[in-house]
Amino acid sequence: MQRPLKLVHHTIDGPIYMETTQAEGGWKGGLWGRELDAGTLRTYKRVGDANRNLTLIFAQMFREHRCSRKCGAPANLLPTPTEVWAEHAKGI
């Protein structure tokens, strides 16, 4: 089983906090920062699905961002632009 995400992405807009949390009936994700308060619109049964949707939202919003050690995330956490649009086309 995947673990919930809890990261701080250091972007050109400042720190963006990214967290997947347990919600009634499953899992949700959130993104927040100095001028941002967003997240997943639906609840997912599996934490991995919530994580994936949250990373897609982040990748669409911060296309220029590349994770580094400073983020505390693996370099391959964020999907490529091609993967983002492929998932978007599937309706995630």
**Separation CA 78–CA 52 (nearest Å):** 9
Q: What is the DSSP string of 41-78?
A: SS-BSSHHHHHHHHHHHHHHH-TT----GGGTS-TT-S
Annotated domain spans of the chain: 6-90
Task: For the chain, list residues with pLDDT below 70.
Answer: 1, 73-92
Give residue 74's pLDDT.
62
Give residue 27's pLDDT.
95
Give residue 81's pLDDT.
54
